């Protein structure tokens, strides 16, 4: 589509970087709003912003490392491209795992419930991811397979990361719309009195299903396959199992 959103002489604003930044800004605003509305304050506004700074750093680094790992051949000849994050090349699951590890350590140190923490952040994850995928669409990364459907898209910009001149599934928009729907579900679900961890569990279940399905329509290199499935599909299955266990843990533990 439009990898470069604006250009002023030699100064360029890349669409991917713009939408990723917008995703962070909107998510932070939503979390600040949620904290103000929350009856039980898990931390202050200052603590929230401080924690979010670490989350952003760990999220970007984890997402980039995962992308490099699955596209290692691309960076052997051009190692400096590793640092060009604004042009695209972040894998959500890489960032998610890195943030999850940091969050678990943080909660242990602060003596907080990890699942309560997950409930608070889950809607913002879905909302930010929805916006970030629009950046993928503009940049042409995460593109879909060829298809003969009324809603396919054709990438023509030579700087696009997608295959040019072919009718492709708009997989980026599939996931963007799907994540926004997940956000709406979690937004209203979180307002009701629920057991701690259920909101996070629903997020894991819904996103794992969404990602597994969208992966079937992806046309870009999916890296190594295990059991005939992409790395992301395998991770989706693991997260789905974790989500189901968290949601049904009381019944499962009673039978154990």
Could you give the number of structural domains in the chain? 1
Q: Which helix (H) or strand (E) holds 211?
A: helix 198-215
**Contact assessment for residue 73 and residue 113, using Cβ atoms and an 8 Å cutoff:** no
Residue 161's pLDDT is what?
A: 84
Structural domain of 126 = 4-192
Residue 50 lies in a domain: yes
- If one counts every other C-beta atom within 10 angstroms of the C-beta of residue 136, the result is 25
pLDDT in tens, the chain (256 residues): 788 877 777 788 888 889 989 999 999 999 999 988 876 667 788 888 888 898 889 988 888 888 777 767 666 777 776 776 665 667 888 889 999 999 999 888 888 888 988 999 999 999 999 999 999 999 998 899 999 999 999 999 888 888 999 999 999 999 999 999 999 999 999 888 678 899 999 999 999 999 999 999 999 887 778 888 998 999 999 999 999 999 988 667 656 5
Residue 38 lies in a domain: yes
pTM recorded for the entire structure: 0.89
Gap between the Cα atoms of 208 and 247, Å rounded: 14
Residue 240 lies in a domain: no
Residue 152 lies in a domain: yes
Gap between the Cα atoms of 5 and 152, Å rounded: 22
Residue 164 lies in a domain: yes
Residue 125's pLDDT is what?
A: 95
Residue 39 lies in a domain: yes
Residue 168's pLDDT is what?
A: 96
Residue 231 lies in a domain: no
Residue 149 lies in a domain: yes
Residue 90's pLDDT is what?
A: 76
Residue 92's pLDDT is what?
A: 87
The three-state DSSP-derived secondary structure of 28-88 is HHHHHHHHHHCCCCCCCHHHHHHHHHHHHHHHHHHHHHHHHHHCHHHHHCCHHHHHCHHHC
């Amino acid at each position: 589509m439009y990898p470069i959103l604006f250009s002023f002489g030699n100064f360029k604003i890349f669409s991917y970087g713009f939408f990723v930044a917008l995703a962070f800004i909107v998510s932070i605003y939503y979390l600040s709003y949620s904290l103000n509305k929350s009856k039980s304050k898990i931390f202050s506004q200052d603590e929230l912003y401080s924690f979010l700074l670490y989350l952003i750093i760990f999220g970007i680094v984890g997402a980039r490392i995962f992308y490099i790992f699955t596209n290692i051949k691309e960076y052997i000849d051009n190692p400096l491209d590793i640092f060009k994050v604004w042009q695209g090349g972040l894998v959500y699951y890489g960032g998610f795992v890195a943030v999850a590890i940091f969050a678990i350590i943080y909660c242990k140190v602060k003596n907080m419930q990890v699942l309560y923490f997950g409930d608070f952040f889950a809607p913002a994850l879905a909302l930010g991811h929805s916006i970030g995928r629009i950046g993928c669409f503009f940049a042409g990364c995460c593109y879909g397979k060829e298809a003969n459907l009324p809603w396919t898209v054709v990438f023509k910009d030579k700087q696009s990361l997608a295959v040019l001149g072919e009718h492709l599934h708009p997989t980026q928009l599939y996931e963007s719309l799907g994540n926004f729907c997940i956000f709406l579900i979690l937004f209203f679900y979180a307002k009701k009195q629920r057991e701690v961890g259920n909101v996070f569990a629903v997020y894991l279940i819904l996103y794992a299903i969404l990602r597994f399905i969208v992966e079937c329509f992806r046309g870009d290199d999916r890296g190594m396959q295990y059991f005939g499935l992409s790395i992301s599909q395998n991770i989706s299955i693991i997260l789905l199992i974790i989500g189901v266990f968290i949601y049904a843990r009381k019944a499962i533990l009673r039978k154990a």
